[in-house]
Structure 1
Amino acid sequence: MDLCITIKGVSFLLQTGLGILANASVLMAYAHIAVVEARLQPVDRILAHIAFANLLLLTRGIPQTMTVFGLRHLLDDPGCKVVIYAYRIGRALSVCLTCMLSVFQALTIVPAGGACLSRIKSYLPKLVVPTFAGLWILNMIVCLAAPMFSIAPRNGTVPPFTLNLGFCHVDFRDNLSYVVNGAILSTRDFTFVALMLSSSTYILVLLHRHARQVRAIRRTQGSSMEMRAAKTVVMLVLLYSLFFGIDNIIWIYMLTVAQVPAVVSDMRVFFSSCYATFSPLLMISSNKKIKARMVCAAADRPAPDLTEKSNAK
């Protein structure tokens, strides 16, 4: 097997495997917290939802990896539509929910400055579930184009204005639908990323003030916990912005050519999925609740009975 193909296949395999394991661990930790504590904090619900969106996004990595290693005809037309639709929704929810997390955290830690702001802050927990529903509906509508144009690979050359994903093709038929679809998705992504960066910049300003007035702010444990959570949110936003920038540089290039090389499409898939792989690792390392549940799970694992082994001998 060619060295480049091997490297690409192993990269997709590691990314997909590590991402699925990490996100599943985050979801199981939050499920345990929900059962034990009977409820989840709003920020925890958003983080759990991000982990679920990441799992949807990473479903594409399985057929992608199998295709790289030479397996063909994995999916028929309906299968392509399902996988591509799940991937698109997962990718869209990833940016929208990270933006939601950033805005929510900024509003949570903003100093109370009046009755209006106090009312907004008190209503925030009640808005989490309706916002989830709104984002799902929005992205299920916006992402309809890709599955409509998704087909299983046909024998012969790849037609123009087609995204060659290896295991599936997304054939947009003509330049207009190709560019319009890309423009709509890019507008949505850039809008949410701009809002995300704006709220994160505000969080950084508040963190800077907190560092200068740390004694006054840390009179209560709650403020300290909010500031730690804010730092995690900022790190998640920076991580997303890094991979979003690489992803969209490749995407803009793809919009300028009629026929996209498979290697370019593979690069974009890899970088667009990096956030889904690394964000749960950041959650686990920075969130004491998740770490505590994972440590408890490891501690509760029964140790091997040495007495029985010695008697067996």
Structure 2
Amino acid sequence: MDLCVIIKGVSFLLQTGLGTLGNTVVLLTYCNIVYTERKLPPVDMILGHLVFANLMLLLTRCVPQTMTVFGLRDLLNDPGCKVVIYAYRIARALSVCITCMLSVFQAVTLSPAGGPCLSKLKAVLPSLILPTFAALWLLNMAICIAAPFFSIAPRNGTVPAFTLNLGFCHVDFRDYLSYVINGAAVSARDFAFVALMLGSSSYILLLLHRHSLQMKSIRRPQQGGGAETRAAKAVVTLVVLYAVFFGIDNVIWIYMLTVAKVSPVVADMRVFFSSCYAFLSPFFIISSNKKVKAKIMCAADQAQPQMDTQESNDK
């Protein structure tokens, strides 16, 4: 097997395996919190939905991509390709939208009281989370509806022009106009949400800077800040993480829009970098969210005596 193929396969395998494991652990942890405490704070509700979207992204894109890299062929037929590509497009869109939602929610929560309108918005903000989830699902299901019509199983022979060769499926746009319109629509949506999340994150950083100056002026510095400050820093870090990989993803995507036939290597690079956020974000959530980390550590401590007892019985 070619060394390049081995490196690519191992990279996708590690990204898929660790990313799926990390997102599953965080998602199960949130389910456990809901079961034991009967409620979930608003920020954790948004993070839980983000983790679900990222897990869905990895399962619908990276799993078949990894199998294809290792030489498995004819994984999906035409209907299977349509379902998988549609689910992947929705998951990818939800990932950017929910990250944006998280940033805006944190910015509004931290903003100082600025009148009755803002006070009312803060009061009703937690009740708007579930309707916002529903609106984002409906919005992205509508925007991504064209994807299934262009998705087909790979055919023997050469790949037609204006076709995204995903290995396990082809997205055949048939003409340049459809190719560009689809790319422009997806990019416009993503850039709009990324611009909003960067704007709200900049506002969060400004508020944190002002808060830091106030603490210094009254000579009462707080070690590490309060819970809201730690949450705000975590949100900003997630936004920066997304923005970095979003930038790499779109540089490759813009290049792909300028050529008629896209090399499978270029398509693989885009898939890898666009999936890095879904792969890395759960581990950052574990390290930065005290409640999630405590639940995981508690579960690990409870599992260890059972393993020791089992080993003793086996002996």
**2:308 counterpart letter in structure 1:** P
- Of 291, 294, 310, 1:292 maps to 294
Contact conserved, 2:50 with 2:98, CA < 8 A, in 1?
yes
Give me the whole-angstrom Cα distance separating, in 2, the residues matched to 1:8 and 1:136: 32
Give me the whole-angstrom Cα distance separating, in 2, the residues matched to 1:219 and 1:252: 46
- Give 1:113's aligned residue: 114
Alignment partner of 1:141 is 2:145: no
TM-score, normalising length: structure 1:
0.95
SS at 1:213 equivalent: helix
- Give 1:52's aligned residue: 52
- Give 1:173's aligned residue: 174
Could you report, residue by residue, the CA deviation over 1:123-170 in whole angstroms, capped at 9, with x for unpaired residues?
A: 100110010000000000111112211100000000000000011000
Q: Which stretch has the larger CA shift, 82-91 or 284-293?
A: 82-91
Alignment partner of 1:283 is 2:285: yes
Give me the whole-angstrom Cα distance separating, in 2, the residues matched to 1:29 and 1:281: 13
Matches within 5 A, 1:248-267: 248-267=250-269
Give me the whole-angstrom Cα distance separating, in 2, the residues matched to 1:203 and 1:47: 18
- Give 2:90's aligned residue: 89
- Give 2:62's aligned residue: 61
Any runs of at least 4 consecutive aligned residues in structure 1 with deviations exceeding 3 A, and if so which?
215-221, 306-309
**Identity level (%):** 68
Structure 1, unaligned runs of 5 or more? none
**2:260 counterpart letter in structure 1:** A
Could you report, residue by residue, the CA deviation over 1:76-95 in whole angstroms, capped at 9, with x for unpaired residues?
A: 11111111111111100000
| Cα-Cα RMSD | 1.9
Give me the whole-angstrom Cα distance separating, in 1, the residues matched to 2:127 and 2:307: 44
- Give 1:4's aligned residue: 4
Contact conserved, 1:67 with 1:166, CA < 8 A, in 2?
yes
Q: CA deviation at 1:41?
A: 0.8
Aligned in 2, Cα 1:117/1:263: closer, same or farther, shift over 3 Å?
A: same
Could you report, residue by residue, the CA deviation over 1:211-238 in whole angstroms, capped at 9, with x for unpaired residues?
A: 11237798999x8111110000000000
Give me the whole-angstrom Cα distance separating, in 2, the residues matched to 1:265 and 1:308: 51
Give me the whole-angstrom Cα distance separating, in 2, the residues matched to 1:147 and 1:125: 35
Aligned in 2, Cα 1:308/1:165: closer, same or farther, shift over 3 Å?
A: closer
- Of 239, 242, 253, 1:240 maps to 242
Contact conserved, 1:49 with 1:97, CA < 8 A, in 2?
yes
Give me the whole-angstrom Cα distance separating, in 2, the residues matched to 1:253 and 1:306: 56
Aligned in 2, Cα 1:213/1:55: closer, same or farther, shift over 3 Å?
A: same
- Of 286, 303, 309, 1:305 maps to 309
Aligned in 2, Cα 1:218/1:185: closer, same or farther, shift over 3 Å?
A: farther
Give me the whole-angstrom Cα distance separating, in 1, the residues matched to 2:311 and 2:193: 59
Q: CA deviation at 1:303?
A: 3.6
Contact conserved, 1:56 with 1:89, CA < 8 A, in 2?
no
TM-score, normalising length: structure 2:
0.95
Aligned in 2, Cα 1:196/1:306: closer, same or farther, shift over 3 Å?
A: closer
Alignment partner of 1:76 is 2:80: no
Give me the whole-angstrom Cα distance separating, in 2, the residues matched to 1:217 and 1:177: 61
- Give 2:14's aligned residue: 14
